[in-house]
Amino acid sequence: MSAIEIPPGPPGPEPASEPVLVVRAEGHAASRWYRQPALVAGLVILAVVVGLALAAPLITSYNPITQNLSESLLGPSRQHLLGTDQLGRDTFTRLLYGLRLDLRIGFIAVLLPFMLGLGARALPFAIGITAVSLFGVGALLSLFTGRSALQSGTRMLVLGALAGAVTYGIGLLAGMTLG
């Protein structure tokens, strides 16, 4: 049997004898955010919506809850940009003031779960923190539902505990089937 000689491959990269300084252009990448058209469009729309919500009392002179039955079901005009409803309330005014409430609820709906998630990940006694936070969320939501803070807080605490148990159980089942 004859021996087959395998020619050596191309030489690999030489190991660096000195540490190499790596310069990252983080500032350059951060300055290019405006080149993303979807991001810019979303920011412009968000700015317009928030601006309209904040300036609602300056934009319109009508009260969103005052009724004027003599002006019910009017079409759009200079006085009422979107017309009036069946009780004579200005629809544009109600839209702007409703936008204020929607933004407030949306902000709370994003901020509180973020804080709960941050607390659950960062603190060793996350169960106690989450329970207190859920109770606080329920008490805060009682401002919008008309129930007592104790009743809403307790209800939110129980629902949160059930949701946590279900999520944990699904995670265990997924781990068993995938592992």
Tell me which amino acid residue 62 is.
Y
The more confidently predicted of residues 11 and 44 is 44
The more confidently predicted of residues 122 and 66 is 66
Q: Kindly tell me if the per-residue pLDDT of 179 is higher than 60.
A: no
Residues 6 or more apart whose Cβ sits within 8 Å of residue 93: 56, 60, 62, 63, 64
Q: What are phi and psi of 57, to 5 degrees?
A: -65, -25
Q: What are phi and psi of 14, to 5 degrees?
A: -70, 140
The more confidently predicted of residues 100 and 9 is 100
Q: Kindly tell me if the per-residue pLDDT of 84 is higher than 70.
A: yes
Confidence of residue 37 (pLDDT cuts 50, 70, 90): confident
The ranges assigned to domains in the chain are 37-107, 123-179
Torsion of CA 76, 78, 82, 83, to 10 degrees: -60
The pLDDT, as a whole number, for residue 35 is 80
CA atoms of 98 and 135, how far apart (whole Å): 27
Radius of gyration of the chain (CA): 30
Q: Which residues pair with 90 in a beta bridge?
A: 84
Q: What is the pTM of this model?
A: 0.49
Q: What angle do CA 47, 105, 170 make, to 5 degrees?
A: 115
Confidence of residue 161 (pLDDT cuts 50, 70, 90): low
The pLDDT, as a whole number, for residue 153 is 63
The pLDDT, as a whole number, for residue 124 is 47
Q: Which residues pair with 84 in a beta bridge?
A: 90
The more confidently predicted of residues 112 and 122 is 112
Q: Kindly tell me if the per-residue pLDDT of 70 is higher than 80.
A: yes
